[in-house]
Amino acid sequence: MNHRYCATLLAVLLLSSVHAARCAVPAATPATTAEATAPANRWAIAIHGGAGESEWEHMDLATAAAYHDSLARALSAGSAVLKRNGKALDAVEAAVEVLEDDPLFNAGRGSAFAADGKNEMDAALMDGATLAAGSVADVQFTRHPVALARAVMDHTAYVMMVGPGADAFSLAQGLEQQPPSFFFNEMRWQEFAAIMRASGRPVPARPPGVPPPATPAGTASHAANIFMHRFGTVGAVARDNEGHLAAATSTGGMQGKLPGRVGDSPLIGAGTYASNHSCAVSGTGVGEYFIRLTLARQVCSLVEQGQTPQQAADHMIHSELPALKGGEGGVIVLAPTGDPVWSSNTLGMFRAREVAGSAPEIHVK
Ligand code: ASP
């Protein structure tokens, strides 16, 4: 363990305990009506902001603090819904929208770029109570792709819409539209440019409306190398006071992907799944492996067969996923009873959880 890594870890631990102390619910605080009537399977929520390797090796204290604050904001947006007796489905959507708005994460604003320099965003959500689901892939203009997935679920007879048809549906639904420059993030572009150069492919022109880079290309590409092995997808799983489960995932996908490539995040059963009979799952990692393993559904199948959520998650992430060479990533999992759990086979995974009556728990590593 090197010195820098120890310093980061220490700072993160300190930050986590400060935040936990700030957010802790004193024992004497009177319960709200919702909390007072909560069944044994009380409300709970977990979120993730991606997993990976290099970013965690090189993360400085300021970056760790920024991630910590973002996760805290997203967790609190989701738990606020559950505290007022709202639905798990609304909680996961609220949490994911906060992460989509944050350029630190590879979803919504801050999304990765396809090889043609465009953002093609994927998102899904699923209602564990009804098995209703909605998803979108390769959308380019919707500020909150997860809200578009919700609109597909609520306002069509379909589960999934893709590309220009999904963009047109988004407009027709009155969802907020934004130009490519809104989603653009310089760090993410430099990471993308480095990946394109490393794979011998041309770096396309910057998106329309985006100014030239402030730093010389050589410096930026060097900086980008430290971020080349990470997955910044975001997701959430929640259980409401009625005991219903939900899951949501949103991503810009893999940097430098061929236009038209779709990952696991919007595929029900691969990167996203929820059923009240087993569990809710949101994943992050190399999507192609999650798709081939139908990983999210497999975690829930193992729970149905009697494994604990932790056992099921660990089996898929530490045995099945790496058994396919290159299978890397992590999941957050929540069952009808018990606390949210997580598992990852990478150096780090941004994640956080909160359960009714307990302080939030936030992990930047
Ligand atoms: N799973 C996502 C995908 O393959 C990437 C990620 O998790 O960051 O599109």
What's at 76, amino acid-wise? S
**Nearest alpha carbon to residue 271 among 290, 288, 246:** 290
Pocket test for ligand 1, best of 119, 286, 331 (most atoms within 8 A of CB): 286
Domain membership of residue 310 (yes or no) is: yes
Predicted TM-score of the model (pTM): 0.87
Q: Using CA atoms, how far apart are residues 364 and 99, in angstroms rounded to an integer?
A: 14
Domain membership of residue 220 (yes or no) is: no
Closest residue by Cα to atom 7, ligand 1, is 284
Nearest atom in ligand 1 to 271's CA: 1
Residue 280 Cα to ligand 1 midpoint, Å, equals 18
Domain membership of residue 201 (yes or no) is: no
Closest residue by Cα to atom 5, ligand 1, is 253
Ligand 1 contact via 254 beta carbon (within 6 Å) = yes
Ligand 1 contact via 282 beta carbon (within 6 Å) = no
User: Residue 276: which domain range?
Assistant: 44-184+226-363
* Number of structural domains the chain divides into: 2
Closest residue by Cα to atom 4, ligand 1, is 287
Residue 288 Cα to ligand 1 midpoint, Å, equals 9
For residues 258 and 130, state if they share a domain. yes
CA 228-15-340 angle, to 5 degrees, is 75
For residues 174 and 81, state if they share a domain. yes
Domain membership of residue 207 (yes or no) is: no
For residues 13 and 73, state if they share a domain. no
Domain membership of residue 321 (yes or no) is: yes
362 contacts 19 by C-beta, under 8 angstroms: yes
Domain membership of residue 218 (yes or no) is: no
CA dihedral 11, 286, 329, 66 (to 10 degrees): 20
Q: Using CA atoms, how far apart are residues 97 and 119, in angstroms rounded to an integer?
A: 17
CB-CB neighbours of 6 under 10 Å: 10
* SS3 annotation, 5-64: HHHHHHHHHHHHHHHHHHHCCCCCCCCCHHHHCCCCCCCEEEEEEEEECHHHHHCCHHHH
CA 4-76-152 angle, to 5 degrees, is 110
Q: What is the CATH number of the domain that holds 281?
A: 3.60.20.30
Closest residue by Cα to atom 9, ligand 1, is 253
Q: Using CA atoms, how far apart are residues 34 and 152, in angstroms rounded to an integer?
A: 30
Residue 271 Cα to ligand 1 midpoint, Å, equals 8
Ligand 1 contact via 360 beta carbon (within 6 Å) = no
For residues 161 and 22, state if they share a domain. no
86 contacts 130 by C-beta, under 8 angstroms: no
Ligand 1 contact via 56 beta carbon (within 6 Å) = no
**Strands 230-231 and 44-52, bridge-based pairing:** antiparallel
Residue 51 Cα to ligand 1 midpoint, Å, equals 9
Ligand 1 contact via 231 beta carbon (within 6 Å) = yes
Cite the active site residues: 233
Domain membership of residue 31 (yes or no) is: yes
Say what the pLDDT of residue 220 is: 45
Ligand 1 contact via 284 beta carbon (within 6 Å) = yes
Say what the pLDDT of residue 41 is: 65
Q: Using CA atoms, how far apart are residues 201 and 181, in angstroms rounded to an integer?
A: 23
Domain membership of residue 141 (yes or no) is: yes
Nearest atom in ligand 1 to 112's CA: 8
What tokens does 143 get? 């500020």
At residue 128, the 3 state secondary structure works out as coil
Pocket test for ligand 1, best of 48, 100, 231 (most atoms within 8 A of CB): 231
What tokens does 108 get? 């919504």
What tokens does 30 get? 């009177």
Say what the pLDDT of residue 54 is: 65
Burial 312-351 (b: 16+ CB within 10 A, else e): bbbbbbeebbeeeeebbbbbbbbbbebbbbbbbbbbbbbb
Residue 37 Cα to ligand 1 midpoint, Å, equals 38
Q: Could you read off the pLDDT tens digit of each residue along the chain, which spans 365 residues?
A: 334 333 333 343 333 433 333 333 233 333 333 334 444 569 999 999 999 876 667 788 898 999 999 999 999 999 999 999 999 999 999 999 999 999 999 999 999 999 999 999 999 999 999 999 999 999 999 999 999 999 999 999 999 999 999 999 999 999 999 999 999 999 899 999 999 999 999 999 999 999 988 765 544 444 444 445 467 899 999 999 999 999 999 999 999 999 999 999 999 999 999 999 999 999 999 999 999 999 999 999 999 999 999 999 999 999 999 999 889 999 999 999 999 999 999 989 999 999 999 999 999 97
Ligand 1 contact via 43 beta carbon (within 6 Å) = no
For residues 157 and 82, state if they share a domain. yes
